[in-house]
């Protein structure tokens, strides 16, 4: 195979990231026309021949309903245009928080989305830091799960031996452990209870944070209520400087104001979701995931290992 046999196309959700990825790969984004009719219906047309090509479709999901629909139509159009292999590159995979039936009469929406992407015609899915890693099992097609820890590598170190990595809940221990291994730091866990959505109460902090520099790691930050509550609890226990490395910056509702008013030293996020940092530059720094996705796309096309990129992150 030669490199000219693959093409990259972007949906409308995160064109800046798609452009960075294409630049890293040294090839332009493919020509695609995306339109909306007056009633909101989405229309997609590929502006170039993709017959027999590997195509990579880059589309994040927020807002999820509209962007997921656009992705499904892009996949279907590529299938009908006789693309050889279709990879849905979804930097942030929405609905991943709805991965189980945790109360009566609710949907398992993540499974529904997996079914839709597969039925639409995708041959492969690539994403980064799923909220629930087991969601990969909802797919019956190959699934590449990239780790955001490589994007943040080197931003917060433990050269002085005084840094600890904090998991904001028990469910995030595996992710936090991979960060702790990277910087050779101890692991601290916050025990919290969630009385209802977008609200969590810190019950206990397991581990020593007194006079320590703290790195909180998580897959996403939504309204920032949980995040800011964790910052306050850590400060109450004597933590010194508090950093965050959070992959997906949803930053809904009061999130920006909460972060501005918090005792946070610095929050690092990726560009998996477009984010305007005007007014919060002193608190929030965006680190591009384009190099990671570009390398993963290149390896996928060349049938090379992707897991070897993350050997340190396993376990």
> CA Rg, the chain, in Å?
20
Model's pTM, two decimal places? 0.92
- Pick out the chain residues at pLDDT < 50: 1-4
How many helices and strands (H and E) does the chain possess? 8, 14
Which pLDDT value is given to residue 86? 98
Separation of alpha carbons 259 and 280, rounded Å: 8
What's the confidence (pLDDT) of residue 246? 97
Query: Residue 192 has what pLDDT?
Result: 74
**What's the confidence (pLDDT) of residue 199?**
60
Catalytic residue (choose from 7, 20, 111, 192)? 192
pLDDT, position 2: 46
Assigned CATH topology for domain 150-288: Rossmann fold (3.40.50)
Identify whether 192 is a catalytic site residue. Answer: yes
- In the chain, what are the domain boundaries? 3-147+291-313, 150-288
Q: Could you name the CATH architecture of 3-147+291-313? A: 3-Layer(aba) Sandwich (3.40)
Give the per-residue pLDDT at 194: 65
Identify the CA nearest to 25 among candidates 301, 309, 304, 275: 301
8 A C-beta contact, residue 179 and residue 217: yes
Tell me the HSE value of 266 on the side-chain side, using a 13 A CA sphere.
10
Q: Assess contact for 222 and 250: CB atoms under 8 A.
A: yes
Q: Encoding tokens for residue 189?
A: 């866990």
CB burial readout 254-287, b (16+ within 10 A) else e: ebbebbeebebbbbbbbbbbebebeebeebbebb
The DSSP bridge pattern shows strands 186-196 and 85-90 to be unpaired
State how far the Cα of 293 lies from the Cα of 147, in Å rounded to an integer: 10
Would you say the CATH fold of 150-288 matches that of 3-147+291-313?
A: yes
Query: Beta-carbon neighbour count of residue 66 at 10 Å?
Result: 15
């Amino acid at each position: 195979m030669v490199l000219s046999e693959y093409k990259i196309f972007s949906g409308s959700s995160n064109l800046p990231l798609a452009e960075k990825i294409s630049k890293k790969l040294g090839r332009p984004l493919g020509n695609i026309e995306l339109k909306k009719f007056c009633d909101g219906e989405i229309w997609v047309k590929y502006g170039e021949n993709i017959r027999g090509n590997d195509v990579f479709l880059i589309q994040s999901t927020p807002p999820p309903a509209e962007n997921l629909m656009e992705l499904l139509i892009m996949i279907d159009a590529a299938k009908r245009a006789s693309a050889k292999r279709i990879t849905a590159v979804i930097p942030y995979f929405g609905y991943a928080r709805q991965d189980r039936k945790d109360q009566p009469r609710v949907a398992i929406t993540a499974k529904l989305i997996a079914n839709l992407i597969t039925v639409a015609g995708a041959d492969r899915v690539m994403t980064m830091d799923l909220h629930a890693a087991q969601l990969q099992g909802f797919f019956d097609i190959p699934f590449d799960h990239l780790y955001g820890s490589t994007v943040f590598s080197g931003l917060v170190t433990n050269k002085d031996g005084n840094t600890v990595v904090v998991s904001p809940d028990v469910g995030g221990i595996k992710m936090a452990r991979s960060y702790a291994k990277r910087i050779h730091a101890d692991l601290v866990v916050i025990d919290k209870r969630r009385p209802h959505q977008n609200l969590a109460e810190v019950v206990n902090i397991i581990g020593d944070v007194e006079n320590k520099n703290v790195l909180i790691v998580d897959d996403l930050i939504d309204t920032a209520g949980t995040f800011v509550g964790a910052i306050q609890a850590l400060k109450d226990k004597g933590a010194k400087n508090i950093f965050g490395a959070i992959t997906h910056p949803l930053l809904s509702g009061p999130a920006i104001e909460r972060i501005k008013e918090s005792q946070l030293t610095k929050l690092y996020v990726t560009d998996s979701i477009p984010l305007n940092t005007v007014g919060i530059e002193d608190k929030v720094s965006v680190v591009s995931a384009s190099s990671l996705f570009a390398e993963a796309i290149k390896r996928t096309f060349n049938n090379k290992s992707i897991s070897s990129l993350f050997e340190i992150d396993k376990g």
